[in-house]
Structure 1
Amino acid sequence: MIVEVVGGADERPEVRVVDVDDLTRLHLALGAVTDEEADGVLRDAGLGRVQDAQTGVLDVAALRAAAEPQAGSEDWAERWDAMLAKTRESGWLSDDGSSVQVHVESAAGA
């Protein structure tokens, strides 16, 4: 699953959740936006924030609410839970399970 923040100089950045059925990976992809623009649009959408140039923090409930309606498989909820368990094991899930740290990658071609 990818949370993309895309946009350009002449348009307001937008956030979208894509590849929702691929629960083997989760990251934040930034297009032609600054970290500040990405942070603002993520916060406005209630999806999270940019922590620094390499790390984002996503709200677990908001991410699920954005992704699940797009899911194409009946076992999506079980695979979602497995993904969260893996992030917890890796130390990326907050203690209360409300947020997950993700790696920031470039999506300049998006």
Structure 2
Amino acid sequence: MIVEVIGGADEVPEVRVADVDDLARLHLAVGALTDEDVDRALREAGLGRLTEGDTGLLDVAALRAAAEPQATADDWAQRFDGMVEQAGAKGWTADDGASLQVHVEPAASA
């Protein structure tokens, strides 16, 4: 799954969740935006925040709410829960497990 933050209409950053059925990976893909723009866009979308230039935190409940309506796999909810459990086991959570720590990568469209 990918959370993308890219330049939108009138240069207002757009946040969207893509590849929701691929729960083997999760990252934040960022277009040609400043860290401040990315952080603000994530917070305004209610999906999370940028912690450093190469790390972000995504709210688990908000991510699920944004991704689940797009999911096509019958077992998606169980696989999502498994992804969250695995992240917790590896220490990739914050806010008492309410957020997942993710790596920031350049967006393909950047």
Please report the TM-score for the alignment, with normalisation by the length of structure 1: 0.93
Q: CA RMSD in A?
A: 1.6
Q: How many residues align?
A: 110
Report the identity percentage.
67
CA distances 1:35-55 after superposition (whole Å, capped 9, x unpaired): 110000100010000000110
The reply on whether 1:66 has 2:53 as its aligned counterpart is: no
Instruction: Give, in whole Å, the separation in 2 of the partners of 1:65 and 1:18.
Output: 13
What letter is aligned with 2:15?
Answer: V
Could you list the runs of 5+ residues in structure 2 that have no partner in the other structure?
Answer: none
Distance 2:52 2:92 in 1: 15
**Larger deviation: 84-93 or 15-24?**
84-93
Q: Moved runs in structure 1, 4+ residues, more than 6 A? A: none
Offset, 1:28: 0.4
Q: Relative to structure 1, is the Cα distance of residues 95 and 14 closer, same or farther in structure 2, using a 3 angstrom cutoff?
A: closer
Contact (CA 8 Å) 1:4, 1:29: kept in 2 or not? yes
Pairing 1:97-108 to 2, within 5 Å after superposition: 97-107=97-107
Contact 1:8–1:32 (CA under 8 A) maintained in structure 2: no
Give the equivalent residue in structure 1 for 2:11: 11
Equivalent runs, 1:82-93 vs 2, <5 Å: 82-93=82-93
Amino acid corresponding to residue 35 of structure 1 in structure 2: D
1:52 and 2:22 matched = no
For 1:22-41, what aligned pairs fall within 5 Å after superposition? 22-41=22-41
Equivalent residue letter for 2:58: L
**What do residues 53-99 of structure 1 show as CA deviations (whole Å, max 9, x unaligned)?**
11000100000000000000110001001101110111002363211
Evaluate the alpha carbon distance shift between residue 39 and residue 95 of structure 1 in structure 2; reply closer, same or farther with a 3 A threshold: closer
Whole-angstrom CA distance in 2 between matches of 1:3 and 1:62: 11
